A and B are shown apart, each in its own frame.
Chain A
């Protein structure tokens, strides 16, 4: 993974004493922060734990002058968001991983049409890491993926998502889960922003001018210029934009106790909070353990991770899946430090990713098993 000079960036926190802080669920925080960021169009199809965000948007967005559509399927939801985005409105959609599978054809082509869009991936567990970070659909494209650990960070990352998608004209994914949607935190919703309408946006007014605008995933050339659609040219141009975006987006990660750590745990999203609690317990008892929490899953904070792990004996990756991010961890370390997968499925009957195995004591035992082991496995 390429990227700028990655460092362990801690996102700035608003002072706790400010009066705007309010207790709310992550789903409401996502909705309110999207509206504050200037989002004026939202479309979705109910599916837990995305449903909760859709409900809040249906309630809150019209009062802010926006439109929220309960679409007939995820396919139409992303189509509607596509049309809204083409008018220059800040638009968002989302679903769980299942619904996002239905959206992938459009998400791939929206990227080639160079339209901004924020996509909420409210996953069930963490089995959709590959879907989010590898593009998910057909074609040669990338989406920036941001993974908040709680409602407060979600508010900040939603603001960042709209900034990045506007700047790079490329969809940005905010990855959450059931815990994020349903647990409450005190959060401060930032003041509302009124984004400007970009020059490429369609409003009909350039018709008849001799230079009517075109927004197309097939290219931006007109036949009158004797060129027409040329997919090779267009795909090369999009590849150049993707390369610039990947180099221009600062990878973010949060680190805890890594300086002298013998075992470094790596986890993302809400499960990282369980892992951090286990790490803190072990630290309190004198064990040399630390945590690296990737915040941008793409671009992956490879340099920050490699720097943090340079003195470690083993890196332990926790995910609520069979092991997906662990591939990116291995690619970041390139064999310099052994990597062990200590995660696994934590599910109950619902399949929502809220099973009993994701538990501080259990995570602690898995980390402890690696302490003092020296080097083994990779």
Chain B
């Protein structure tokens, strides 16, 4: 029996369908990523690359990657990349920046990478006031392993290791990293954005531009946390993930500019 939703047609579309490749930033080599539909990380990655390009930093940028789903981009950029271990990007970035002070150093990590495995790395890099920009893609789960609890998972959030929702009695409470880093003397800029709607995407882009600009002034570490959708790891429908982000994650990890010493 034919599917009633399929409208038969006897002519080609008026214009060819747009492919992801058609609107991929030039610095991302291959547009067709292998991450899940509805994932927020490619959006964040696109913003980071656009920010480097707009500030004309591409020819002196080194991006240090952590380990997570976003690592799929570490060999997919026309920007120099140094791959670090899970949790270790801030110390690796420190070595890069100390030996190449004229480069722009950007780290990309997830919440499992930066807050669970490697919290002390970013805290000490911040305390030293390293002139690097650290980006944390926060979806509150270990997406790559299939949706497990991290240090930023919000209370009540269901994961494969908190099946009835994160219970403060059993699992403790989430670490609000941007809020924590804002209190460290060595940070110059701290902001938390999101990529779940057009307005948040635009605001997050501005945060990345500002963070990279602050890095050029060498006044301390700049940090942008970006809330990203993970419908697979959240066990929600793809189209409902942006709303889930607003209602769950953003209620606890509240977007905004937390610190800007040059403002």
Contacts and interface: CB of A to CB of B under 8 A. Distances in A.
Given A113-B83, A215-B82, A80 B95 contact: yes
Interface in A208-224: 208-219, 221-224
B120 interface: yes
Give the interface SS of chain B, mostly helix, strand, loop or mixed: mixed
B175 interface: no
Contacts of B121: 76, 79
A106 B84 CA distance: 9
Contacts of B185: none
A84 B59 contact: no
By size class, the interface of chain A is 35 or more
A351 interface: no
Given A69-B94, A79-B91, A214 B80 contact: yes
Contacts of B77: 212
A208 B95 contact: no
Nearest to A41: B99
By size class, the interface of chain B is 35 or more
A212 B78 contact: yes
Interface in B13-46: 26-27, 29-30
A268 B93 CA distance: 37
B88 A214 contact: no
Interface stretch (A6-14, A18-26, A86-94): A86-94
A207 B59 contact: yes
A218 B74 contact: yes
Nearest to A209: B78
A285 B79 CA distance: 70
A224 B88 contact: no
Interface of B: 26-27, 29-30, 52, 58-62, 64, 71, 74-85, 88, 90-100, 103-104, 120-121, 124
Given A83-B64, A83-B84, 20 more contacts: A76-B121, A79-B94, A81-B95, A84-B95, A87-B99, A89-B99, A202-B96, A203-B80, A207-B59, A207-B79, A210-B78, A211-B78, A212-B77, A213-B80, A214-B81, A215-B82, A215-B83, A223-B30, A224-B30, A224-B76
The 6 closest A-B pairs by CB, nearest first: A83-B95, A79-B91, A216-B83, A84-B95, A224-B29, A204-B60
Interface of A: 40-41, 43, 67, 69, 71-73, 75-77, 79-87, 89, 91, 105-106, 109, 113, 202-219, 221-224, 228-229
